[in-house]
Amino acid sequence: MSSQPENEIKRVYDLLKQGDYQSAKEVLSEILVDDLENPEILFGLKCTGFWENKLTQISEITNLFPKGEQLISGWKEFLYLIDNEKSRYEQCIYSIKKGVFTQVLEIFQRLLQENTFSKKGAIVGRIGLCYKQLGDYDTALRFLGEANLENPEKASILAEMADCYALCGEEKTSKILFREAFFINPQDVDISVLESELFCRLYSEVIRTGKKDEVAAEWFPVEGVLLGVLNVKRELRALEVGKLKQNIYALETELKNEGVDSDLIIPRLINNYFRLIDHYTTVMEDRTKINEILLKIKLLNADVYERYTV
C-alpha cells in the first residue's frame, strides 16, 4: 500500500481503526486494480477478510461477556495466522489492533456499568488489558491493579501488570512481577497478550531451545534467571518460605511417581529451588544448605547447574 496515494492509505488505516472491515476491504479492492501484485494490499485484504468472517460469527453471541472473550480469542487467532508477516506490515496490524480492542473495551465498560459485580475482577482485568493494547499504560495499570485486588496473586494479571511496567520503562518493577507471575502459575500466563521488549527477549530465547506450549511456559522463569532477565529479587515473608518448602517437597514427591510428566515438573521444581536459594542468600543462611539445593539442581539438569553456577 505504500506505493498508493497517501490519502487512500490513510483512509484504509482509519477504517481499520474504526473496525469497519467491509469498507476497508472495498477501498483495498479499488487500490488493487492499479497494483495487482502489491503484497501489502494483498495482506490487507487477507486481514479484512479474516475479521469480516470473525465478526459475522461473533454477532450471533448476545451475552456481552463471552462476546468480548471471543473477540480477544479472535485477536489471538489472527496473530497466529499472520505470525510470519507481523514484522512487515506493522502499521496495518496496529490499526486492526486498535479497532479490535476499542470494540472489546466498549463491551467490558458496558459490563462494568451493568454488572452485579459477580465478575468484577475478570471485567476490570479485561478493561486493563484493552487499555494496555491501546497504549494507555497508566490507565491499564489502574484497572489491572484493581483486578489484582479482586483476585490476589492471579498469575495472568501480574504478568500483564509486569508487561505494562516494562512498556513504561520501569524494568525493576516489571522483573519482580514477571518472576512472581511465573512462580505462581506459568500455565495461567497468557503470553499472546504480552508485548514488551523484556518479555519478547525472554520468549525468543526459550523458543530457540525448541521448547513449546506448556513446557515452554515452565521454562520462562528458569531461563529468565539464567539469562539475567529476571534478576531482581525480593525478600520472602516467613509464611512464603514455609509454603515454598511445602511446594518443593510436593514436587519432589510427585517426580518420583511413575507416569508423571517430568518435562513439566522438572523446570517448575528448578524454579522453586532458585527461589529457595535466593531466600537463603538474602538471610545469609549456612552455605551447606545452598550447596544441597545446588546438588539437587545438578541431578535434575546438569546444563542448568553449569549455567547457574558459572
Q: DSSP readout, the chain? A: -TTS-HHHHHHHHHHHHTT-HHHHHHHHHHHHTT-TT-HHHHHHHHHHHHHHHHHHHHTT--SHHHHHHHHHHHHHHHHHHTGGGTTT-HHHHHHHHHHHHHHHHHHHHHHHHH--STTHHHHHHHHHHHHHHTT-HHHHHHHHHHHHHHSTT-HHHHHHHHHHHHHTT-HHHHHHHHHHHHHH-GGG--GGG---HHHHHHHHHHHHTT--HHHHHHHHHHHHHHTTSS----PPPHHHHHHHHHHHHHHHHHHHSTT--HHHHHHHHHHHHHHHHHHHHHTT--HHHHHHHHHHHHHH-HHHHHHHH-
Is 54 found in the same domain as 134?
Answer: yes
pLDDT digit string, tens, across residues 83-119: 888 888 899 999 999 999 999 999 999 999 987 667 8
Rounded Cα gap, residues 136 and 201, in angstroms: 22
pLDDT digit string, tens, across residues 169-188: 999 999 999 999 999 999 99
76: Cα within 13 Å, side-chain hemisphere = 11
Residue 268 lies in a domain: yes
Is 265 found in the same domain as 178?
Answer: no
What mean pLDDT comes out for the span 257-284? Answer: 94
Residue 233 lies in a domain: no
Contact 233, 247 (CB under 8 A): no
Is 245 found in the same domain as 189?
Answer: no
Predicted confidence band of residue 262 (pLDDT cuts 50, 70, 90): very high
**How many domains are there within the chain?**
2
Which pLDDT does position 2 carry in this prediction? Answer: 46
Rounded Cα gap, residues 109 and 124, in angstroms: 8
Which of 127, 160, 193 is at the close of a domain?
193
Which pLDDT does position 251 carry in this prediction? Answer: 97
Query: Does 253 have pLDDT greater than 90?
Result: yes
Query: Does 1 have pLDDT greater than 50?
Result: no
Residue 198 lies in a domain: no
pLDDT digit string, tens, across residues 182-239: 999 999 999 999 999 999 999 999 999 999 889 999 999 999 999 999 998 888 999 9
Smallest CA-to-CA distance from 131 within 161, 159, 156 is with 161
Contact 17, 99 (CB under 8 A): yes
Residue 74 lies in a domain: yes
Residue 229 lies in a domain: no
Rounded Cα gap, residues 290 and 279, in angstroms: 10
Query: Does 41 have pLDDT greater than 90?
Result: no
Is 103 found in the same domain as 186?
Answer: yes
- Averaged pLDDT score across all residues of the chain: 93
Radius of gyration of the chain (CA): 23
Residue 127 lies in a domain: yes
pLDDT digit string, tens, across residues 105-161: 999 999 999 876 678 899 999 999 999 999 999 999 999 999 999 998 899 999 999
Give the three cell numbers for residue 266.
Answer: 522438572
Q: What is the CATH classification number for the domain harbouring 92?
A: 1.25.40.10
Which pLDDT does position 4 carry in this prediction? Answer: 46
